[in-house]
Amino acid sequence: MDIREIIVVEGKDDTTAIKRAVGADTIETNGSAISDETLRRIAHAQEKRGVIVFTDPDYPGRRIRAIIEERVPSVKHAFLAKAKTIAKNGKGLGIEHASDADIREALKNVYTLNESSVFAEQITLEDLMMARLIGHPQSKARRTRIGELLNIGITNGKQLHKRLIMFQITVKQFADAVMQLDQEEQHV
């Protein structure tokens, strides 16, 4: 599987994992303190070939995404569930610990944020409350799983609503994911 776009990752170990799993070029941010020079390189890469942001499912990874989105809003995003990025010894988390198959799957399910488009089917905050994704004792765990099911990453309640709209998740996709989540909880 060859990827045309340049993949933005956090560090050298992530680059090694990406190159092991797929044919792709990378730009490394070297952590969440992204330099202006790195942001210029990402913007240039977006103009020339396109960019996929593929960061760790933790706070620094989310911060990197937010910084890049603000500067280069048209980038694509790939997400991996936290459980798929935990080191075998349990002492670390990151894309570098993911299997090649999981990396390839995440890169098949990329999203482009599209804030400016008019999207008729919007999921409301009331829908999120009814699905126990906000305002419920189990909301955090449910949001984590919904993020995995919809491939939109881990979010807080406010971010979840924004991502559902930005990634143009349909009411049916949302309802199907909530139904799967409810069924999984019944079998635990």
Q: In CATH terms, is domain 6-112 a member of 1.10.443.10?
A: no
pLDDT for the residue numbered 165: 81
- Nearest alpha carbon to residue 157 among 132, 173, 126, 133: 133
CB contact at 8 A, 26 and 7? yes
What is the pTM (predicted TM-score) of this model?
0.69
pLDDT tens for residues 73-116? 889 999 888 888 888 887 888 899 999 999 999 999 887 765 44
pLDDT of 119 higher than 50: no
- Nearest alpha carbon to residue 153 among 55, 75, 87: 55
pLDDT of 63 higher than 60: yes
The 10 Å Cβ neighbour count of residue 182 is 12
pLDDT of 120 higher than 50: no
Q: How far is it, in rounded angstroms, from Cα 96 to Cα 103?
A: 9
Chain centroid to CA 151? 6
Instruction: Outline which parts of the chain fall under CATH 3.40.1360.10.
Output: 6-112
Q: How far is it, in rounded angstroms, from Cα 112 to Cα 73?
A: 9
How far the first Cα of the chain sits from its last, in Å, is: 36
